[in-house]
């Protein structure tokens, strides 16, 4: 560890505005194919310097095609290179295949998963921008804080007592890091992130603007006079390679720890309540609210605007569709796909949804049946008289 003021003494007034990019002048198609384990069909020496959507691709750009049926049209694009499924070219007609052989046609890279290959190439060609290391003159860094090498601390950021900031981390403008916080290597804290006291981040964690980690959980006990706050004295642990979207909030545990597992990704405006446990490689879309002590196991997928009651459990690999409602204590079984309010297996939800769509018709049919029954009843009474 080295003292923060060693950075300060070498900091230039405008260093915070200097942006560094790890980008290169581009890579050849052959180099990109080697990166993603693909096979080149065409000139492997073509230089690629950017990724692009298929409709916008031009010279120097690489795009991808996942569906084989779209390949004939894609081959006529202006992209320099296309990522295509393995065997896609052989499945096209001879006329279409000939398009790829003309001098100005796109070079092809066959890969098992074109979209994944595209993402890996994008990481190489478009690395995140980084500020030059240093501490802005307006930042406030406690004397007891430990700041490792190559850290950037932006304007008006505050680093609390005994806080630890790992090597290569970027702390942007207005970030608040509380006392005894531990931040791992190569993290990125976007503007106005707030880390309350005692929070722990692993390596390569990305927190987007306005994230709040470690605020008190929503816990109260009521008596005749009103509400009394239940202790919120736990902490939050966010493991390696987690990314949280803008204005997402993760509350500290009441008496234990709120935890987000390695590689998990949360969208904007997600609320994670106290003592929630989220496993590894989970993805959760925007505006989802997760009540206290809920457990979400590894590899689950949660859609947007899902509401969780407390102590719910989502087993490994389960998928929950958007706007679903998970009742308190509900268990969503491993590997299932579930939807609706209350949440239920997708096939059942679809059947019920089909019935809901027919309710007006069913109401009309029921009214007609009632009318006929009334007529029959009247006829029976008339004959009885």
Calpha distance 337→94 (Å, rounded): 41
Element (H, E) at 8: helix 4-9
Phi, psi of 226 (to 5 degrees): 145, -150
CA–CA distance from 211 to each of 30, 121, 258, 271 (Å)?
Answer: 41, 28, 15, 10
Q: Is residue 15 a contact partner of residue 104, using CB atoms and an 8 Å limit?
A: no
Residue 114 near residue 83 (C-beta atoms within 8 A): yes
CA dihedral 327, 332, 338, 342 (to 10 degrees): -10
How far apart, in whole angstroms, are the C-alpha atoms of residue 16 and residue 287? 33
Let me know the angle formed at the C-alpha of 311 by 310 and 314, rounded to the nearest 5 degrees. Answer: 110
Q: Is 379 exposed, middle or buried (0-12, 13-18, 19+ CB in 10 A)?
A: exposed
For residues 322 and 337, is the Cβ–Cβ distance under 8 A?
no
DSSP bridge partners of 50: 61
The DSSP string of 111-166 is: ES-HHHHHHHHHHHHSPPPEEPSEE-TT-EE-TT-EE-TT-EE-TT-EE-TT-EE-
* DSSP assignment letter at 2: B
Residue 131 annotated as catalytic:
no
The one catalytic residue in 136, 192, 208, 274 is 274
The catalytic residues are 274
């Amino acid at each position: 560890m080295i003292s923060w003021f060693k950075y300060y003494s070498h900091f230039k007034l405008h260093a915070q505005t200097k942006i560094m990019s790890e980008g290169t002048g581009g890579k050849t198609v052959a180099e990109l194919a080697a990166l993603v384990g693909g096979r080149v069909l065409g000139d492997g020496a073509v230089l690629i310097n950017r990724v692009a959507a298929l409709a916008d691709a031009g010279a120097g750009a690489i795009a991808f095609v996942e569906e084989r049926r779209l390949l004939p049209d894609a081959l006529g694009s202006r992209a320099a290179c296309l990522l295509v499924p393995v065997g896609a070219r052989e499945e096209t007609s001879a006329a279409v295949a000939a398009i790829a052989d003309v001098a100005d046609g796109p070079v092809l890279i066959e890969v098992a998963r074109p979209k994944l290959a595209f993402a890996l190439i994008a990481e190489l060609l478009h690395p995140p921008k980084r500020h030059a290391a240093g501490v802005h003159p307006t930042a406030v860094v406690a004397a007891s804080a430990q700041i490792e090498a190559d850290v950037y601390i932006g304007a008006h950021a505050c680093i609390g007592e005994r806080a630890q900031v790992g090597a290569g981390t970027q702390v942007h403008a207005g970030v608040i890091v509380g006392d005894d916080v531990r931040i791992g290597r190569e993290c990125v804290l976007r503007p106005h992130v707030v880390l309350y006291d005692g929070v722990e981040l692993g390596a390569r964690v990305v927190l987007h603007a306005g994230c709040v980690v470690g605020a008190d959980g929503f816990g109260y006990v009521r008596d005749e006079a009103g509400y009394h706050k239940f202790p919120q004295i736990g902490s939050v642990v966010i493991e390696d390679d987690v990314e949280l979207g803008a204005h997402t909030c993760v509350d500290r545990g009441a008496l234990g720890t709120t935890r987000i597992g390695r590689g998990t990704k949360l969208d904007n405006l997600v609320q994670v309540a106290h003592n929630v446990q989220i496993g590894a490689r989970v993805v959760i879309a925007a505006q989802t609210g997760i009540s206290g002590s809920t457990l979400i196991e590894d590899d689950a997928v949660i859609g947007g605007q899902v509401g969780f009651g407390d102590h719910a459990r989502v087993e490994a690999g389960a998928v929950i569709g958007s706007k679903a409602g998970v009742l308190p204590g509900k268990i969503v079984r491993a590997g299932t796909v579930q939807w609706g309010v209350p949440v239920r297996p997708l096939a059942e939800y679809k059947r019920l949804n089909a019935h809901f769509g027919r309710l007006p018709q069913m109401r009309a049919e029921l009214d007609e049946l009632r009318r006929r029954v009334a007529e029959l009843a009247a006829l029976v009474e008339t004959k009885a008289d």
